[in-house]
Structure 1
Amino acid sequence: MTNYKVVEIFSSINGEGTRAGQLAVFVRMQGCNLNCTYCDTKWANEADAKFHWTSTEEILELLRSMEIKNVTITGGEPLLQEEIGELLEAMAKEENLRVEIETNGSVPLQPFAEIPNGPSFTMDYKLPGSGMEKYMLPENFAVLRAQDTVKFVVKDYEDLCRARDVIREYDLTEKCHVYLSPVYGQIELENIVNFMKDNRLNDVNMQLQMHKIIWDSEMRGV
């Protein structure tokens, strides 16, 4: 059975997204292929970051024992894990789990969208402020469904403008959930609201990272 590079598994509340405020278990995988300027999990992304080899069955047994329905597979970039499809297929067979996978927008989603009863996607689209927009795969937008989410992490006015243009170009609000999420401490929240009003961004959600409000913004495992 396949083993995965797991940095941590913990329970908390979902800090963002469609199930914000609900209990969730987070399974954080090691490693990422991007290096965003504002990344808040760099400690889990490095090649030498500490991890535990953890099997599919070990993960499932732990999830069953925790008795929490919402599960978020995150990283790093979890879709880079070798044979991650095996884990997602196994999770899809668990009756009491609602699985979401957070992905950075640079990995093709199609193979994972074909998993019966598979995970929902929360996919980033990296904006200019991240320094990583050139790695985005716009073809992923065609894979997204009503249960999926595109998240735009915005750092400044340029990011807001680019997010608006991408949302409109790909008609994202007609396909899936759409969120604007501020880089913590780097953009005035009021400016995001005013931009949304000025540009009539209907069906776009502004979100705050709830876990960074409740706990110290640098705290891990929350």
Structure 2
Amino acid sequence: MSYKVVEKFISINGEGQRAGQLAVFIRFAGCNLNCSYCDTLWANEKNVDYEVMTLEDIYTYIESTGVKNITITGGEPLLQDNIFDLIKVLTAENELRLEIETNGSVSIKKYYEKLNHPPSFTMDYKLESSQMEDKMNIDNFNVLTQKDTVKFVVGDMKDLIKVKEVIDEYNLTEKTNVYLSPIYGKINYQDMVDFMIENKLNDVSLQLQLHKIIWDPNQKGV
């Protein structure tokens, strides 16, 4: 049972419910989408360099770090062969807190149906500026819980208008955590706050990508 790992490192969570906390990151190769603003395109290239790691290798590495927060990301990690087995092993450890960053196009239903302790999902909703909105799996909204997050990646005011429509249509703030994540360098943060005020976006969080503020926005391994 092996996996294609393009990066493994310790840093802080740059976004999400545990932003600012230490986490160990496992980044897998490959993705089924091609978002206009993707900041990890290199990880999606067919000829990307990767390390073949077994389930045992990944578990041993995570254990060796002493870090309790684990972020599995990509690319799209849920496309990896045998990813269910890895998630099952990691969620069985009570001391570990597993987060899966997924792009919103892949069903997450089986993880709720087949695991006693599902991981925490941070699921993107790709808006028009991504050019991938038609690939979103809306059925995922039916299984998200209060430990999960829907992350709207926002590039312009048109995206923000759609955010409100989606939140209202699916009652997302009643089901799960909702975050607005501006595309770095594409939209004014103050304009986003003004929109939130004007539209009374209660229980919605604006998040900035801490790793792009602390380090160079293009730096890997952070």
Specify the TM-score bucket, using the shorter chain as the normaliser: over 0.9
RMSD value, Cα: 0.7
Q: Does 1:44 align with 2:50?
A: no
Matched with 2:108 is: 109
For 1:188 and 1:124, locate their aligned partners in 2 and report how far apart those are by CA, in whole Å. 20
SS in 2 for 1:33: coil
Residue of structure 2 equivalent to 1:119:
119
Aligned residue number for residue 146 of structure 1: 146
- Structure 2: tracts of 5 or more residues without a match: none
In structure 2, the partner of 1:77 is 76
Alpha-carbon shift at residue 113 of structure 1 (Å): 2.1
Does the residue aligned with 1:125 lie in a helix, a strand or coil? strand
SS at match of 1:166: helix
Task: Please state if 1:12 is matched with 2:38.
Answer: no
Q: Deviations along 1:69-124, whole A, 9 cap, x unmatched?
A: 00000000000001110000011122321000000000011012231112110000
Aligned residue runs from structure 1 range 27-42, under 5 A: 27-42=26-41
The residue type paired with residue 219 of structure 1 is Q
Specify the code of the residue in structure 1 equivalent to 2:58.
I
Taking the aligned partners of 1:113 and 1:221, their CA distance within structure 2 comes to 30
- 1:209-220 aligned within 5 A: 209-220=209-220
Choose 111-120 or 177-186, whichever is displaced more. 111-120
The CA distance in 2 between the partners of 1:81 and 1:7, in whole Å, is 12
Q: Which residue of 2 aligns with 1:179?
A: 179
How far apart, CA to CA, are the structure 2 residues paired with 1:47 and 1:120?
28
Separation of aligned partners in 1, 2:132 and 2:7: 25
Which residue in 2 is equivalent to 1:160? 160
Long gaps (5+) in structure 1: none
1:198 aligns with 2:198: yes
Supply the distance in 1 between the matched residues of 2:57 and 2:94 (Cα, whole angstroms).
17
**Separation of aligned partners in 1, 2:189 and 2:104:** 24
Deviation string for 1:159-203 (max 9, x for gaps)? Answer: 000111001100000111000000000100001000001110000
User: TM-score, normalization: structure 2?
Assistant: 0.98
Tell whether 2:218 aligns with 1:208. Answer: no
- Secondary structure of the corresponding residue to residue 16 of structure 1: coil
% of aligned pairs identical? Answer: 57
Is 2:134 aligned against 1:134? yes
Superimposed CA distance per residue, residues 134-160 of structure 1 (whole angstroms, 9 cap, x where no aligned partner):
000111000101100000000001100
CA distance in 2, matches of 1:206, 1:156: 14
Moved more, 45-54 or 180-189: 45-54
Partners in 1 of 2:91 and 2:105 — Cα distance? Answer: 23
User: What amino acid is aligned across from residue 89 of structure 1 in structure 2?
Assistant: K
Give the letter for the 2:15 counterpart: E
Q: Residue 57 of structure 2 corresponds to which residue in structure 1?
A: 58
